[in-house]
Structure 1
Amino acid sequence: MPTLSELIPAEAVRLDVAAADWREAVRAAGDLMVATGTSTGEYTTEMIENVEGNGPYIVIAPGFAFAHARPSPAVLKTGMSWVRLAEPVEFGHESNDPVSLVVGLAARDSGAHTEAMAALARLLGDPETERALREARTPEAVHAVLAGLDASQEQEERQEPEERQAGGGSAHKILTVCGNGLGTSLFLKNTLEQVLDRWGWTKYVTVEATDTISAKGKAGEAVAILTSGEIARTLGDVGVPVKVVENFTSTGEVDRILRDTYDVQ
């Protein structure tokens, strides 16, 4: 699978970009993917329409928006872009506005970028790495941080292969849900799996990232659904608890929600 630094080459990074509103910010991320041959301009339109239709659920952490849409013919290859704004803009999110970083994703399918999404979630959840990215002065400096993260992750996987394997035969399932099932839900899945690993529960609970339509059909298989406020309102009553997560990269928040779900003190 491609690494994060392979999906976000230095040519797909722009810093101190001027954007008058959230549409211009998303368009800047889309334009970079067009320039690197990842997608066409139609995909940029689809990313904007995704927010218009589903709300600002792509703002998954304070100051961070993850712009994407469903796989479509407008995606030429799986790739990403990185746009740091000169001035933050409002997306209309209740708690995570304003946004200063927009990462774009164009995916050919739901599987090719899974590990890169997990790496990006860990990156943005680490204060030191997040600060290094925020203070990077050039696209090459951003790319160097991403490449360094890839290298450290590969070493960790070689040292602890058994600990990173999901346990089979799990009794419980938790769904993480977003509008498309391949972007923000993967961020939340990774954060939840970090907490489950810390608890030693990976043998007993599996996590599946999915979209709103599939989630309604799969809800009966799950003990709970974790998602954003916007998607929770779209889902409505699905027969299982729907837990709202404000910051998809916060293990602390997800830990509290998991404790509430299982009544663990």
Structure 2
Amino acid sequence: MATLHELTRPNSIRLDVQAADWRAAITTAGRLLETDGVSSGHYTDAMVRNVEDNGPYIVVSPGFAFAHARANDDVHRTGMAWIRLDEPVAFGHESNDPVTLVAALAAVDSSAHLTAMQQLAQALGDADTREALESATTPGQFHDALAAVTPKAQGSTTAAAATGATAASTQGAAGEDVSAPTHATKDHILTVCGNGLGTSLFLKNTLEKVLDQWGWGPYLTVEATDTISAKGKAKDADLIMTSGEIARTLGDPGIPVKVISNFTSTEEIDAALRDSYDV
């Protein structure tokens, strides 16, 4: 699968961009995708409509917006573009505004960009990487900062599953013992966004990081999905994690819905898990 810097070409990065508002910011990032042959102008318009229809849920962490939309024949290949704004703009998010960094993703399917989404969650959750992106003086330096983010090692918790362990005691994020869930659960969590291709994958990666810290990876699976599919899949899940805007769209799916404001915050997700599983 393509990595974060492989999906982003240096000519798809612009720094110190002036944008009058969030629509102009998304449009500027979309035009970079168009110029690079990734997508058409219809996709750029769709990214703007996505926020108009679903609210500013794409502002997934303080100062960062992740623009995307559902792909049709307006996406030619999977790719990303980045802009860093000269002056921050408000998207209307209650806790993560204003935005200085915008990434735009166009994806032809739900799998080609999985590694890149994992790296993106890592990059924005790491203070040094975020600082490198904020302080880069050229697109080349910005691209180098993306290239420095290495994918998370896979399979770190599969050994416990292979032994058939059912109630192992492991170390949680705060350093205390966290036992694997022993009460009846469906062993499944949904992360939900408007399209199931962008922010839901972003949140899934951070959630899986917390599960790895707890040693719960062998016991719970996380599925990224869209709002329409989530309503049907809820009956087979323990809970849903999503943004406030998407939570309002979902209404009552019949299972607990945990609203996450900062999709890079392991502490916020840790707290939501503790509340959900009575840890």
Do both proteins adopt the same fold according to a TM-score greater than 0.5, normalized to the shorter chain? yes
What is the distance in 2 between the residues matched to 1:164 and 1:15?
39
The answer to whether 1:110 aligns with 2:103 is no
Deviation at 1:9, TM superposition (A): 1.1
Q: For residue 60 of structure 1, give the secondary structure of its aligned residue in structure 2.
A: coil
Q: For residue 261 of structure 2, give the secondary structure of its aligned residue in structure 1.
A: coil
Deviation at 1:148, TM superposition (A): 1.6
Instruction: Quote the sequence identity (%).
Output: 62
Corresponding position of 1:89: 89
What is the distance in 1 between the residues matched to 2:233 and 2:140?
43
Corresponding position of 1:23: 23
C-alpha contact 1:171 1:204 (8 A) present in aligned 2:
no
Q: For residue 44 of structure 1, give the secondary structure of its aligned residue in structure 2.
A: helix
Q: For residue 60 of structure 2, give the secondary structure of its aligned residue in structure 1.
A: strand
Corresponding position of 1:13: 13
The answer to whether 1:196 aligns with 2:211 is yes
Structure 2 unaligned regions, length at least 5: 165-184
Deviations 1:56-85 (A, max 9, x none): 110111110000000211101000001100
What is the distance in 1 between the residues matched to 2:157 and 2:61?
25
Corresponding position of 1:123: 123
Higher helix share: 1
Structure exhibiting the larger radius of gyration computed from Cα positions = 2
Corresponding position of 2:180: none
What is the distance in 1 between the residues matched to 2:85 and 2:19?
7
What is the distance in 1 between the residues matched to 2:42 and 2:79?
15
Deviations 1:72-129 (A, max 9, x none): 1110100000110000111111111111111000000111101110101101000111
Aligned AA for 2:92?
G
Q: For residue 9 of structure 1, give the secondary structure of its aligned residue in structure 2.
A: strand
What is the distance in 1 between the residues matched to 2:39 and 2:157?
33
> Displaced runs of 4+ in structure 1, greater than 4 A?
164-171
Q: For residue 27 of structure 1, give the secondary structure of its aligned residue in structure 2.
A: helix
What is the RMSD computed on CA atoms of the aligned residues? 1.6
The answer to whether 1:221 aligns with 2:236 is yes
What is the distance in 2 between the residues matched to 1:240 and 1:214?
14
Deviation at 1:195, TM superposition (A): 0.2
Structure 1 unaligned regions, length at least 5: none
Deviation at 1:2, TM superposition (A): 1.0
Aligned AA for 2:15?
L
Q: For residue 137 of structure 2, give the secondary structure of its aligned residue in structure 1.
A: coil
What is the distance in 2 between the residues matched to 1:253 and 1:53?
26
* Pick aligned residue for 1:162 from 140, 143, 155: 155
Q: For residue 11 of structure 2, give the secondary structure of its aligned residue in structure 1.
A: helix
Q: For residue 77 of structure 2, give the secondary structure of its aligned residue in structure 1.
A: coil
Corresponding position of 2:179: none
Corresponding position of 1:178: 193
What is the distance in 2 between the residues matched to 1:37 and 1:164?
39
Corresponding position of 1:244: 259
Change (3 A) 1:177 1:68: same
C-alpha contact 1:64 1:102 (8 A) present in aligned 2:
yes
Deviation at 1:162, TM superposition (A): 3.2
Aligned AA for 1:163?
S
Change (3 A) 1:31 1:218: same
Question: What TM-score do you get using the length of structure 1 for normalisation?
Answer: 0.94
C-alpha contact 1:82 1:101 (8 A) present in aligned 2:
yes
Corresponding position of 1:60: 60
What is the distance in 1 between the residues matched to 2:238 and 2:206?
17
C-alpha contact 1:71 1:107 (8 A) present in aligned 2:
yes
The answer to whether 1:233 aligns with 2:248 is yes
Change (3 A) 1:233 1:176: same
Q: For residue 185 of structure 1, give the secondary structure of its aligned residue in structure 2.
A: helix
Q: How many residues align?
A: 257
